[in-house]
Amino acid sequence: MLLETTRFGKLEVDPNQIITFTQPILGFQEFRRYILLPGPGDHLTWLQSTDSGELAFILIDPRSVMPDYQLELKAPELAELAVTSPAELSVYTLVVVPHDPAQIRTNLRAPVLISQKHRLGKQTILERSNYPIQFYLAQARANSPAEVSHARSHA
């Protein structure tokens, strides 16, 4: 299928690569189908909507900025993604990229979970978590300044 995007131009999308979200990303209820694309840095990934070529999110592996990041997911949440263990999931968090690079941040309390095997995804809220809603990447030791700057120039 051919997807016309505002960020990447025309993309040839293999329908078998589409990830269907069982629950939408917060604030984007009408968009449920996405593909993953390589991001501008080692730990960054694009989540491009196939429902709208205008909608793309930049994602980061939360362990790249907080190495001890862990999920506590209940069995029903795992079952929704057709997995039995969090280890079967790719885990990302959404990145907010404003004009000021010092304000680039991610929400560690609302990860995006993706089962690559079953092509299912969802955003969840970690209710019993102390992870910050606004974690500033410029302060993260694991994230290089070059990667943050590169993310800004490609957002």
Q: How far is CA 64 from the centre of its chain?
A: 13
DSSP per-residue letters across 29-63: TT--EEEEEE-SSTTEEEEEESS-TT-EEEEE-GG
Please give the pLDDT value at position 128: 83
pLDDT tens per residue, range 44-84: 999 999 999 999 999 999 999 999 999 989 999 999 999 99
**Has residue 151 been placed in a domain?**
no
CA distance 93 to 106: 6
Pairing of strands 120-123, 2-5: unpaired
CA distance 105 to 93: 10
Residue 51: closest CA among 37, 33, 36, 35: 33
**Has residue 89 been placed in a domain?**
yes
* Per-residue DSSP letter, 145: H
pLDDT tens per residue, range 7-46: 999 999 999 999 999 999 999 999 999 999 999 888 899 9
CA distance 129 to 137: 19
**Has residue 52 been placed in a domain?**
yes
pLDDT reading at 148 higher than 70: no
**Has residue 98 been placed in a domain?**
yes
Tokens standing for residue 101: 């690079």
Number of domains within the chain: 1
Percentage helix, strand, coil for the chain under 3-state DSSP, each rounded to 5? 20, 30, 50
Tokens standing for residue 97: 């990229």
Q: How far is CA 147 from the centre of its chain?
A: 16
* Per-residue DSSP letter, 78: H
**Has residue 34 been placed in a domain?**
yes
Q: Do 94 and 110 contact (CB within 8 A), yes or no? A: yes
**Has residue 155 been placed in a domain?**
no
Residue 8: give its domain's CATH number.
2.30.290.10
**Has residue 152 been placed in a domain?**
no
**Has residue 62 been placed in a domain?**
yes
Instruction: Look up the domain containing 27 and give its range.
Output: 2-142
